[in-house]
Amino acid sequence: MLTSIAGKSTIVTGGSKGIGKGIAKVFAAQGARIMIAARGEEAAKAAVAEIESAGGTAAYHLCDVADWDGVQGLIKATKDTYGSVDILCANAGIFPQIKMVDMSPEDWDGVMSTNLKSTFLCVKACIPEFEAQGKGRVVVTSSITGPVTGFPGWSHYGASKAGQLGFLKTAAMELSKYNTTINAVMPGNIYTEGLQDLGEDYLATMANSIPLKRLGAVEDIGNAALFFASDEAAYITGQQIVVDGGQILPESLEALEEI
């Protein structure tokens, strides 16, 4: 049992859908007060309603996490709503698949801005709050794609996700001054709304390539993030954890078939 995070003001960027919504629901179930950041209002509103109907506390703020003014507005809105910022889950991300031969410089910059620059902007904007609180927690959603594995069409995405891990090593040192930790969760293939369109057969094939024989649930990522945000993880910083059901372990197809 982890020490309670009840009442903690928690920003979850990209909390309106997929993994971010999973993180928001796991934290809200433990009593955290959630501020969802996203661009689209309909999904953000629906996510807040879902959390509230389960007895949780949530609000949303619309912004682009790649925009400095937008991120500063998010911090202000969170302070105005809850009085402080205790935890930042920097999770928002995009993964348009496009091979290098067709990729434009603008495609590259767009993914870098939304996935990597946003991580820096959100952490930077929270520093005064963590300093004022004398404590803070940051959990970044990276990926196995980039830091560990590759996938055609995701060179920009993989670079952005590996970049987040590079960022957090130095960020951990700088944030230690504010008694703040920063760690990353690296999801494997997680079952989100976006994957539903891929069809049963494709999903079954994906599940079969994972030793634990299932795609991850968004709550699997939420639970790992919850640990990093807890008091019990107070002495862990600058680290990352793979949450993938063993997906990166098999060294060959034969290895999988031997199970």
The set of catalytic residues is 157
Burial class from Cβ neighbours inside 10 Å (0-12, 13-18, 19+) for residue 80 reads: exposed
Q: Do residues 19 and 91 make contact, with C-beta atoms less than 8 angstroms apart?
A: yes
Task: Answer yes or no whether residue 95 interacts with ligand NAP by CB under 6 A.
Answer: yes
Q: Do residues 78 and 11 make contact, with C-beta atoms less than 8 angstroms apart?
A: yes
Q: Do residues 149 and 248 make contact, with C-beta atoms less than 8 angstroms apart?
A: yes
Residue selected from 10, 91, 180, 183 as contacting ligand NAP according to rule CB under 6 A: 91
Residue selected from 146, 147, 158, 187 as contacting ligand NAP according to rule CB under 6 A: 187
Q: Which is nearer to ligand NAP, 22 or 178 (CB)?
A: 22
Quick check: helix, strand or coil at residue 259?
coil
Report, in Å, the least distance between residue 202 CB and ligand NAP: 13
Q: Kindly indicate which of the ranges 171-179, 182-190, 223-231, 248-256 contains the residues binding ligand NAP, using the contact rule CB under 6 A.
A: 182-190
Q: Do residues 25 and 219 make contact, with C-beta atoms less than 8 angstroms apart?
A: yes
State how far the alpha carbon of 81 is from the alpha carbons of 6, 56, 73, 84, 110, in Å. 16, 15, 12, 8, 30
List strand residue ranges (DSSP E) for the chain, in order.
9-13, 33-38, 57-62, 87-90, 136-141, 180-187, 240-243
Report, in Å, the least distance between residue 257 CB and ligand NAP: 24
State how far the alpha carbon of 68 is from the alpha carbons of 12, 16, 83, 118, 162, in Å. 17, 20, 21, 8, 22
Residue selected from 26, 58, 65, 85 as contacting ligand NAP according to rule CB under 6 A: 65
Residue selected from 29, 94, 159, 207 as contacting ligand NAP according to rule CB under 6 A: 94
Task: Answer yes or no whether residue 119 interacts with ligand NAP by CB under 6 A.
Answer: no
Report, in Å, the least distance between residue 191 CB and ligand NAP: 8
Residue selected from 57, 78, 141, 181 as contacting ligand NAP according to rule CB under 6 A: 141
Residues 200-259 that bind ligand NAP (CB under 6 A): none
Task: Answer yes or no whether residue 18 interacts with ligand NAP by CB under 6 A.
Answer: yes
Task: Answer yes or no whether residue 10 interacts with ligand NAP by CB under 6 A.
Answer: no
Could you list the residues that contact ligand NAP (CB under 6 A)?
A: 13-14, 16-20, 37-40, 43, 64-66, 91-95, 114, 141, 143, 187, 189-190, 192, 194
